[in-house]
Homo-oligomer: A and B are copies of this chain.
Amino acid sequence: MQEPLYLDDFKVGQRFESATHALDAAQIKRFAAEFDPQPFHLDEAAAENSLFGGLAASGWHVASLTMRLLVDGTIPIGSGNIGAGVDITWPKPTRPGDVLQVFSEVTEVRPSRSKPDRGIVTIRSETRNQHGDVLQVLTSRMLVLRKAE
């Protein structure tokens, strides 16, 4: 068990590294069938003729897998991993066979002015594959509580 983190434990420049998740075509198609049923996420042949040039995971699947990797002990926030807002870009497609890993860095720690028991911690998380390609950049403004006295 890792020690839970509270607002005062976060510092700009602090880094976190997740476990890995191996993605395959079956997972990509299953997520897409439920949430993003477009040909380039569902079918190899159709994907060849799309802007992706081959089967690619839904960006929402990459985001959801990134969340799973973050929640599984990467950043053990005592009050939970609760996002107030996020920005996401997907610089490259995520493919079958990619092994995902998340590399996070704290970029800002801002105590709330109106609510002294909490603050916003901004965390920039790159989701990379086993070749080091950056597949997603997620900037999250996390709501983090101070440790109760």
Contacts and interface: CB of A to CB of B under 8 A. Distances in A.
Interface residues of A, number: 33
Given A83-B59, A88-B88, A36 B51 contact: no
Copies in the complex: 2
Contacts of A19: none
Dominant secondary structure of chain A at its interface with chain B: mixed
Interface string A84-98: 111111100000000
Interface string A53-68: 0000011100111011
A38 B50 CA distance: 36
A79 interface: yes
A81 interface: yes
Interface of A: 34-40, 50-51, 58-60, 63-65, 67-68, 71-72, 79-90, 143, 145
Given A36-B68, A36-B81, A58-B67, 18 more contacts: A34-B64, A35-B65, A35-B67, A37-B72, A40-B80, A50-B79, A51-B80, A59-B83, A59-B86, A60-B60, A60-B63, A60-B67, A83-B90, A84-B90, A85-B87, A85-B89, A87-B88, A88-B88
23 contacts: A34-B64, A35-B67, A36-B67, A36-B68, A36-B81, A37-B68, A37-B71, A38-B71, A38-B80, A38-B81, A51-B79, A51-B80, A51-B143, A58-B67, A59-B83, A59-B86, A60-B60, A60-B67, A63-B63, A84-B89, A85-B87, A85-B89, A85-B90
